[in-house]
């Protein structure tokens, strides 16, 4: 039987993961199957039953998407440091009866920025909006890229204060609310890691944060010019991009963790990318 993998989420109809992983498997000649599973929202613990059943039938690993990332993390036997900081897992692997959890969202985002977009973060002023799962997962990979300064802004300031305190001493980090941004000047890279774009909303970010020769990165993908990207464009920013590259890069990290071989990503990104306008 082929090695079995799956993505689990709810809803799951929109997922691109089976396509991405089947393209990776073709390219790297891996004999595996990859399906999408709609995880049950109730009763309690039903998600865990789905994961355990998949493993007991010979499953090798799963990608996990909303709303199950926290539950996947909680049920793991072993967790990576970045998953622990995020409090969330987006990938699990079954090995010797144990459930191993990792989170490749942040490292996928950094790889898209630094490798695909050729924008090294070293010495740059970086602003990240949001303090949810994606922002938490990005924190350590961002610091590892050695920006001059990483400012993280969130609506709920207590959340971003706690997040930044959890990695105190590991880099030049500042937590703040949106009202502080006016006085913090321009940034080379502004990353929208809020979920505002999913509902067509704009985080209350002032246009003064953008540098015309800088970059605005939207984590959401397939939504065209979101209000955030439109604000950046109107502020004169040429480099605006969405999160499709991050999606493919985090998938490549998961694939490499499972299969021991890293697939090429650029053709897959080109295939999935939708023009912003
Ligand atoms: P969470 O639900 O964990 O976090 C949501 C965050 O958004 C919180 O910080 C919240 O602030 C903030 N927020 C929500 N609405 C607004 C608003 N109107 N104004 C300002 N802030 C707002 O979401 P995730 O971290 O899981 O996801 C964030 C985004 O990243 C989504 O768009 C998701 O699709 C995308 N994503 C993309 C991936 C990719 O591969 N490209 C992978 C993972 C995520 P507060 O705490 O104040 O409520």
Instruction: Say which of 16, 60, 69, 124 is annotated catalytic.
Output: 69
Residue of 139, 195, 202, 268 best suited for mutating to test ligand 1, as the one with most atoms within 8 Å of CB = 195
- Quick: pLDDT tens for 44-67: 889 999 999 999 999 999 999 999
pLDDT of residue 103: 96
SS3 62: strand
pTM of the predicted protein model: 0.96
Please name the residue whose Cα sits nearest to atom 3 of ligand 1. Answer: 132
For 185, list phi and psi in degrees, rounded to 5.
80, -160
User: What kind and span of H or E run contains 236?
Assistant: none
Please name the residue whose Cα sits nearest to atom 29 of ligand 1. Answer: 195
Instruction: List, as one string, the DSSP characters of 146-174.
Output: --SEEEEE-SSHHHHHHHHHHTTTSSSEE
CATH architecture, domain defined by 119-242: 3-Layer(aba) Sandwich (3.40)
Q: Which atom of ligand 1 is nearest to the CA of 221?
A: 41
Please name the residue whose Cα sits nearest to atom 15 of ligand 1. Answer: 196
In whole angstroms, what is the distance from residue 267 CA to residue 247 CA?
Answer: 13
Q: Is 69 part of the annotated catalytic residue set?
A: yes
Query: Where would I find the beta strands (DSSP E) of the chain?
Result: 3-9, 32-38, 59-64, 78-79, 91-95, 98-102, 125-129, 149-153, 173-176, 187-192, 210-218, 239-241
pLDDT of residue 133: 86
CA 247, 249, 255, 257 torsion: positive or negative? negative
29: left (phi over 0), alpha (psi -120 to 50) or beta: left
203 close to ligand 1 (CB < 6 Angstrom) = yes
SS3 52: helix
* DSSP 8-state assignment for residue 103: -
Q: Residue 5 pLDDT more than 90?
A: yes
162 close to ligand 1 (CB < 6 Angstrom) = no
For 215, list phi and psi in degrees, rounded to 5.
-135, 140
Chain region(s) in the chain for CATH 3.40.50.10860: 3-103+245-272
CATH architecture, domain defined by 3-103+245-272: 3-Layer(aba) Sandwich (3.40)
Token reading at 195: 């979920």
- Quick: pLDDT tens for 209-248: 999 999 999 999 999 999 999 999 999 999 999 999 999 9
Q: 177 and 157 in contact (C-beta within 8 Å)?
A: yes
Integer CA distances (angstroms), 14 to 23, 126, 131, 192, in order? 17, 31, 24, 21
- Quick: pLDDT tens for 248-264: 999 999 999 999 999 99
Confidence of residue 118 (pLDDT cuts 50, 70, 90): very high
Nearest to 150 by CA among 166, 159, 138: 138
Confidence of residue 85 (pLDDT cuts 50, 70, 90): confident
For 267, list phi and psi in degrees, rounded to 5.
-65, -35
Q: In what order do the strands lie in the sheet with 173-176?
A: 173-176, 149-153, 125-129, 187-192, 210-218, 239-241
Residue of 15, 72, 155 best suited for mutating to test ligand 1, as the one with most atoms within 8 Å of CB = 155
Å from CA of 196 to ligand 1 middle: 6
Confidence of residue 1 (pLDDT cuts 50, 70, 90): confident
Chain region(s) in the chain for CATH 3.40.50.720: 119-242
């Amino acid at each position: 039987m082929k090695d079995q993998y799956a993505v689990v989420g709810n809803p799951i109809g929109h997922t691109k993961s089976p396509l991405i992983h089947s393209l990776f498997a073709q390219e790297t000649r891996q004999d595996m199957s990859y399906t999408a599973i709609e995880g049950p929202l109730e009763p309690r613990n039903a998600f865990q039953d789905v994961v355990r059943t998949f493993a007991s039938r010979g499953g090798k690993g799963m990608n996990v998407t909303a709303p199950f990332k926290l539950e996947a993390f909680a049920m793991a036997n072993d967790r990576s440091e970045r998953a622990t900081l995020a409090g969330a897992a987006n990938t699990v692997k079954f090995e010797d009866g144990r459930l191993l959890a990792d989170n490749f969202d942040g490292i996928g985002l950094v790889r898209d920025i630094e490798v695909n977009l050729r924008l090294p973060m070293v010495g740059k002023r970086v602003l990240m909006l949001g303090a949810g799962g994606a922002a938490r997962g990005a924190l350590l990979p961002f610091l590892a890229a050695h920006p001059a300064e990483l400012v993280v802004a969130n609506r709920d300031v207590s959340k971003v204060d706690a997040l930044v305190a959890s990695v105190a001493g590991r880099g030049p980090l500042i937590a703040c609310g949106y009202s502080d941004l006016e006085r913090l000047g321009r940034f080379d890279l502004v990353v929208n890691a809020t979920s505002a774009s999913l509902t067509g909303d704009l985080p209350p970010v002032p246009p003064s944060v953008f540098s015309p020769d800088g970059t605005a990165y939207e984590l959401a993908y397939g939504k065209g010019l979101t209000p955030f990207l439109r604000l950046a464009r109107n502020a004169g920013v040429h480099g605006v991009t969405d999160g499709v590259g991050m999606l493919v890069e985090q998938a490549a990290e998961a694939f490499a963790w499972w299969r021991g071989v890293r697939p090429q990503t650029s053709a897959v990104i080109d295939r999935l990318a939708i023009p912003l306008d």
